[in-house]
Amino acid sequence: MDPDRRRAEIRMKERVVMSWSGGKDSAMALRELLKSDQFEVVALLTTVSEEFRRISHHGVREELLEEQANAIGLPLDKVYLPSGESAGCTNEVYEAIMERAMTAYRSREVLTVGFGDLFLQDLRAWREANLAKVGMRGVFPIWQRATAEFAREVIGSGFKAYLSCVEGRVGAGFVGRAYDTKLLDDLPPGVDPCGENGEFHSFVYDGPIFRKPVEVQVGEIVVRDGRHYADLLPRGSSSSEKCVAEQMPPV
């Protein structure tokens, strides 16, 4: 293809920043955006605990998040959220911080945000309302996919992930496990196979959107606020730091 024509096609695409958790649903949604002729993904955007330097909710170390973005080959933008006991991140605080972040994207003519949501309509409506305040919109590439089939599609597509956080009702034995068909078969009744209701969170370390795998290993298992966390570490890490529950950001 003529280089000038190629540049013109890229300019015509809708520029998107991907709301990135580091998990499997984000990865599948990103894959759809990257395959699309309509969108150009300009960056991954992740919220990180300012105090603990871990991905919000997932509890994954910032270092692994950076390695993951590098392995995918996209720029990583991080928004730091307050998480200390004296400065928790209320909805009002969160919305104010994200409004500033979105306004900055808008100034760069990035008007669209991609999300990996599957079926939580109230969450989608909240996202869309907040984006509308700054003249932006959301896109939801995997919206309303049937989660039982979709979970197996994630695995069949070649994505590899570990469960980094698991709710107590799912069971401590699931945290740190690979997200594979055996895990799906073992999940207790009533647990969504994609964890869409927050039952569990994951960290993807390889798959079709990766240029190379992220070398990761499962470290300490800890409990905080009734949730089980696997402290994922860079493979071969020589760190002697022992993870304790207080190092995980509160949800």
- What per-residue confidence (pLDDT) applies to 32? 98
* Type of residue numbered 155: I
- What per-residue confidence (pLDDT) applies to 235? 83
Q: State how far the Cα of 205 lies from the Cα of 64, in Å rounded to an integer.
A: 9
The CATH number assigned to the domain holding 109 equals 3.40.50.620
Q: What is the pLDDT of residues 116-147, one digit of tens each?
A: 999 999 999 999 999 999 999 999 999 999 99
Q: Which residue has the higher pLDDT, 85 or 156?
A: 156
pLDDT band for 62, please (50, 70, 90 cuts): very high
pLDDT band for 92, please (50, 70, 90 cuts): confident
Q: What is the pLDDT of residues 172-216, one digit of tens each?
A: 999 999 999 999 999 999 999 999 999 999 999 999 999 999 999
Into how many domains does the chain fold? Answer: 1
Of residues 95, 88, 115, 107, the one with CA closest to residue 17: 115
Of residues 68, 19, 70, the one with CA closest to residue 47: 19
Name the pTM for this structure.
0.90
Q: Is the pLDDT of residue 6 over 80?
A: no
Residue 132 belongs to what domain range? 3-247
CA distances from 141 to 25, 33, 222, 233 (A): 10, 7, 34, 30
Q: Is the pLDDT of residue 234 over 70?
A: yes
Q: State how far the Cα of 35 lies from the Cα of 32, in Å rounded to an integer.
A: 5
3-state secondary structure 165-185: EEECCCCHHHCCCECCHHHHH
